[in-house]
Amino acid sequence: MPVGLDSNDMVSLENIIEPSSPYKENETVYQSEQHFERIYAVKSGMFKTVVIDANGNEHIVGFHLPGELFGLDAIYPQKYISTAISLGTSSVCGINYNDLESLAAKLPSLQRQLFSLMSKEVHTSQSMTVEHSADQKLAGFILALSSRYKQRGYSDTRINLMMPRRDIANHLNMAAETVSRLFKRFQKEGLLEIKRTDLHIIDMNGLKELAGCASAC
């Protein structure tokens, strides 16, 4: 859930959160063009959001971790512009947007959090259009996951890669073979270790240098 809220605000927010709903792997939470009613908070596991371009190609626009919200991009058009799908066994809690909007009007701290989250969505969407080399893209992706896990109180050097390599490749507009090759190279260079879905960052500064953000990340 949004960080930075005091205990009283959190209690008020929790009162409008719906009970969690479990999802098996590859189940749909909502579909593109479906009428917007609620946003969702990831309770466990991971979800991806997918859009279909004009040529009918599927593109993964985001991965959503425990404690994060998704569905925010549907607020303005009042319909979901992506399809949300579970990665592995996962669960979410729905939050009726009308209830959330009413509560945010009473709680300035919550309203600021929502504006901040929507601003981050726009920034993330715009950053995906910037041209980078393949190794910069993958290093930046790993660092972004690390930062997001850290913000939620998890380890920033131990990352659970629930998403398959082909999904990472799709998200980064790369070939799956390129992602696999880069992961092997990163391991050989001592930047990280991977065992199945467990990614261990060994050289954080090395990854930052590779991503081109040694002073900004």
Question: Could you tell me the residue ranges of all domains in the chain?
Answer: 7-127, 134-211
Go through 145-159 and write b for each residue having 16 or more CB atoms within 10 A of its CB, e for each that does not. Answer: bbebbeeeebebeeb
pLDDT category of residue 111 using cuts at 50, 70 and 90: confident
Compute the distance between CA of residue 48 and CA of residue 29 in angstroms, rounded to an integer: 10
Residue 106 dihedral angles phi and psi, to the nearest 5°: -95, -20
For residues 50-55, give the mean pLDDT.
Answer: 91
Q: What is the pLDDT of residue 11?
A: 83
CATH 2.60.120.10 for domain 7-127: yes
Tell me the pTM: 0.86
Highest CATH level, class, for 134-211 = mainly alpha
pLDDT category of residue 7 using cuts at 50, 70 and 90: confident
